[in-house]
Structures are given as structure tokens and as C-alpha cells.
Structure 1
Amino acid sequence: MNTKSTSTEWLILTPYLLVFSYIALIWHRLPPVIVSHYNLTGQPDGWMPKEKALLVMAGLGLFIYLLLRFLPKLDFSAMVQPAVFQRMRFVMSLLMTVAIGSLFYLATQSGGLQSSQGAMLALISLGIAAVGNYMSILKPNWFIGIRTPWTLQNNRVWTRTHRLGGRLMVAGGLLGALLAVLVPAPYTVGAAVAVLLIVTLVPVVYSYVYFQQETTSQSMR
């Protein structure tokens, strides 16, 4: 047995174990039906029984864990960087468990809901900033990264796009965390989501523009 690999898996699983232990501790405090979704103004717009919510969240968490656990085995190009990928897996497990924990924590809050939402959004934004820290050094591969038609066709486009995308994710995650704490309700969620949308869309557009520039430059040589 590979001891290092086993230790890594336990480290990645630890956030899941902690969040579901937390849910078990607060289970008796949860109402029979809990909020399962919030709109951009932070208002509840979806509900489900707490048992169903737990099954859905546990199933989603298991699916994401197994997907990321076995994805590299399908990478016959062997271009996924093991160390970088494992760190990203850990950050993704933190993001997932913060989202799960937030859902159940907010269900126990009869007051101060908006401030609680802001704190949870800030944590998720910081997680996105942590992922961005690894994006800039991510090499071309089949599964993870900013995989547009243009980054996949040109390694220079991939590299430049991921450098930009990584910096934007770090800056956008930090800004999103700040806005989640400072922007008053009911604009908290909308402000944080707007930043994340910009961080997501700009690298996609950049990859197209830079690819066109590269194509034109090569045709003129």
C-alpha cells in the first residue's frame, strides 16, 4: 500500500468527515424542511425536507470526490501534474464542504441570516482564490483547467490564458470575499456572484482573442 497516497486521500476526505459530523450534531436543531436554494438577493426560493437535502448533498459530495479521485487514471496523455492536482482536489473538497455546511448552518439561523450568508460567501470566495493560485502553473491536459477550443489547440494560448485566469481568480476571490462582508443586504450575493462571473468569462474571451492573434501572426510568417 502506498502510505503517501493513503495519507493524501484521508487529508482530502477530512473536510467531508468534519462537515457531516457537524450536521449530525445539529440535526435535532434543524427544521423538518430547510432552504435548499437562495436567489441573487439572498432570499430563499427553494426548499426540501432535511433528510432529502442530506441525501442530495452526500451524494453530490461522493460524486465529486470519486470523479476527482479517478479522473487522472483516464488521462492517457499523463499530463496531469500529480502534486498540483492533489492540492486542487483538497481545495475543491474544502469548497464543497463549506457549501454543504453553509446550507445546514443557515437552516439553524432564525436571525442574522444575511450576515451569515456573507461570511459563507467570503469563505467560498477565498477557496476560489486558492484554486487560482494553482491555475497559473497548470500544464495542458485533458481534464482540468480553462478548457476552451482555443486553449486546447495551442499551448501558448493555454499558458497565457491560465496565467491570466489564475491571477483573476486570486484577485476576484479576494475581492469577492471583501464584497461578501462589506456589501449590505440584499446585494451581498449579487455582488459576489458578479465578480465570479467576470473572473470566469474574461479568460474565455481572452483565449479566443489571443488565439486569433496567434493564428494571424503565424499566417504572416
Structure 2
Amino acid sequence: MKTTSTTTEILMTIPWLIAIVYVTSIWPELPATMPSHYDLSGTVNGWSPKVELAWLSLGMGVFLYLLFRFLPKIDPKGRLQSANFQKLRFVMMLFLAALQASLFYLAVHQSTSQALLGPELALVSLMLAGIGNYITTVKPNWFIGIRTPWTLSSENVWRRTHQLGGRWMVAGGLLAALLAIVVPAPYTVGVVVGIILTASFIPIVYSYIYYRQEKARQFS
């Protein structure tokens, strides 16, 4: 995938266009007020007008597209001009569009919303795995990646942290996606969130430990 091309930019918008077409096709079936928030047991505890959610979804899609489209241009290090960054963009746009569409799907199938929350969380988990698959190749920059004081202070710490973090994100994302389907509804959110937080926290701790080790070797 080229770093800049009309074809690439069209490809980035396709997931959101499909989501818009889908929401338009089920619009008459949607209730006037839709679930917009769930508690840790998967029970709906927040509602919003469907028009408001539709505009929010559209606005989020436009914002994310523009954000990831122009980040490489404003990155002071100029490290985001790569084919792998474009793949990372597409993975994020694809899964976020699917998540937005799933909210409207859940609204149409309110009687089975708890059963369908698992697949929605599985999408979030698969997005984490997809990001982890490409994040290992992201070079040091100010916007994308595991940006801690220690990774930003050393390119070697950045590289080692992202190699480890990418593996944890892939493994954690795939495990969370599986458990999101098989774990009973009252525990699904807690289990998935716990795995995602663990997979995200371990690389942060590792970046500090490896930074300290690197400094110790320099002074030894």
C-alpha cells in the first residue's frame, strides 16, 4: 500500500461508507432512542436519540480519517510516512466503523442486546490484535505507539518495547476476542477489559525497566 495515493485514501473511507449505507438501510427499524452505554455486566445504562448518535458516528468517522490522514504531515520526526502506517490506519478505520455499525445493529435487536455485546467486545479485541500486528514496525514519533518518557528518550527502548508490546497486543487481543464469545454475559466486560489493560500495561512497565537497564549498561 503506497504511502500517498488516491486509491489508498479511497480505501480508507470504504469501511465508513459501508457503515453509513448499512445504518441508512435499517434507519426505519431503529427506535427513536438507542442504547449508548453499557455497565460492566453488559446491561444498558445510557440512552441517546438515534439522530444524535448517527451524527456523532459520522463526525467521528470524518475526524478519525482527517486525523490519521494528516498526522504524517505534522509529525516533527517525519517517521509516519510508511506503508505499514497506512495498513495500521486501515485496520483502525475498519474496526472502528464496524463498532459504530454494531451499535445500530444492537439497537434493532434490543431483545438480545446482552448476547450481542460479546461479539461487539470481540471486535474491540480484534482491533487491538490488528494494531499490535503493525505497531512493531512504527518508528519513534510523537503521535502513534507506546509513548512513554522512556521510549521517547531512546530509539532502542522504543524498538524493544514495541516488539514486546506488539506481541502482547496480538496475544491479548485474540484471547480477549475468544473469551468475549464464551464467557457468560455478566462477566464478559470485566474479563475483556482486564485482558486489554494487562496487555497495554505490561509494555509500559517494560519500557521503564529496559530503559533503566540500558542506562546501567552505559555507566558500567
Tell me the TM-score normalised to structure 1 length. 0.94
For residue 161 of structure 1, what is the aligned residue in structure 2? 161
Would you say the 8 A contact 1:118–1:181 is kept in 2? yes
Query: Gaps spanning 5+ residues in structure 1: where?
Result: none
For residue 22 of structure 2, what is the aligned residue in structure 1? 22
Whole-Å separation in 1 of the counterparts to 2:76 and 2:200: 28
Tell me the TM-score normalised to structure 2 length. 0.95
Would you say the 8 A contact 2:84–2:134 is kept in 1? yes
User: What code does the residue aligned with 2:158 have?
Assistant: W
User: What code does the residue aligned with 2:18 have?
Assistant: L
Number of residue pairs aligned between Structure 1 and Structure 2: 218
Coordinate RMSD, CA, aligned: 1.4
Which stretch has the larger CA shift, 10-19 or 52-61? 52-61
Whole-Å separation in 2 of the counterparts to 1:110 and 1:139: 44
For residue 88 of structure 2, what is the aligned residue in structure 1? 88
Would you say the 8 A contact 1:81–1:139 is kept in 2? no
Matching of residues 1-221 of structure 1 within 5 Å: 5-220=5-220
Query: What whole-Å deviation, never above 9, does each CA across 1:50-70 have from its counterpart, x for those lacking one?
Result: 001111111112111100011
Whole-Å separation in 2 of the counterparts to 1:137 and 1:85: 8
Q: Which runs of 4+ in 1 moved over 6 A?
A: none
Would you say the 8 A contact 1:98–1:124 is kept in 2? no
Would you say the 8 A contact 2:40–2:190 is kept in 1? yes
User: C-alpha displacement at 1:115, in angstroms?
Assistant: 2.2
Whole-Å separation in 2 of the counterparts to 1:85 and 1:63: 18
Would you say the 8 A contact 2:99–2:123 is kept in 1? no
Query: For 1:164, what is the secondary structure of its paired residue?
Result: helix
Would you say the 8 A contact 1:29–1:108 is kept in 2? yes
Query: For 1:63, what is the secondary structure of its paired residue?
Result: helix
Would you say the 8 A contact 1:168–1:199 is kept in 2? yes
